[in-house]
């Protein structure tokens, strides 16, 4: 049985390590490369006819792009 508040403590530690990982050299470049790759894939998917599989993939891509944009904007503000 977990102690009360343990989940928030572990989540806080994860958030701190996630923030610190953006300071590792090459991390920003890796995010930029991933963003470019995802945007290219998104544009390719948008050119064709839409079906359920493509729609699901676009949702995944958009969610990941939101996360990447947030990380990059936080890094730019530092």
pLDDT of residue 74: 84
Of 10, 12, 30, nearest to 71 (Cα)?
A: 30
Of 56, 15, 75, 63, nearest to 35 (Cα)?
A: 63
pLDDT of residue 9: 56
Q: Could you list the mean pLDDT of each consecutive 10-residue stretch along the chain, which spans 78 residues?
A: 52 60 73 96 92 94 95 79
**How far, in Å, CA of 20 to CA of 24, rounded?**
7
pLDDT of residue 11: 57
pLDDT of residue 15: 62
pLDDT of residue 31: 92
pLDDT of residue 50: 87
């Amino acid at each position: 049985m977990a102690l009360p508040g343990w989940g928030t403590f572990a989540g806080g530690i994860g958030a701190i390590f996630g923030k610190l990982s953006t300071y590792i050299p090459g991390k920003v470049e890796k995010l930029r490369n991933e963003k470019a790759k995802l945007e290219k894939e998104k544009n390719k998917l948008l050119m064709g006819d839409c079906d359920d599989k493509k729609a699901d993939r676009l949702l995944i891509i958009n969610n990941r792009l939101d996360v990447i944009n947030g990380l990059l904007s936080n890094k730019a503000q530092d």
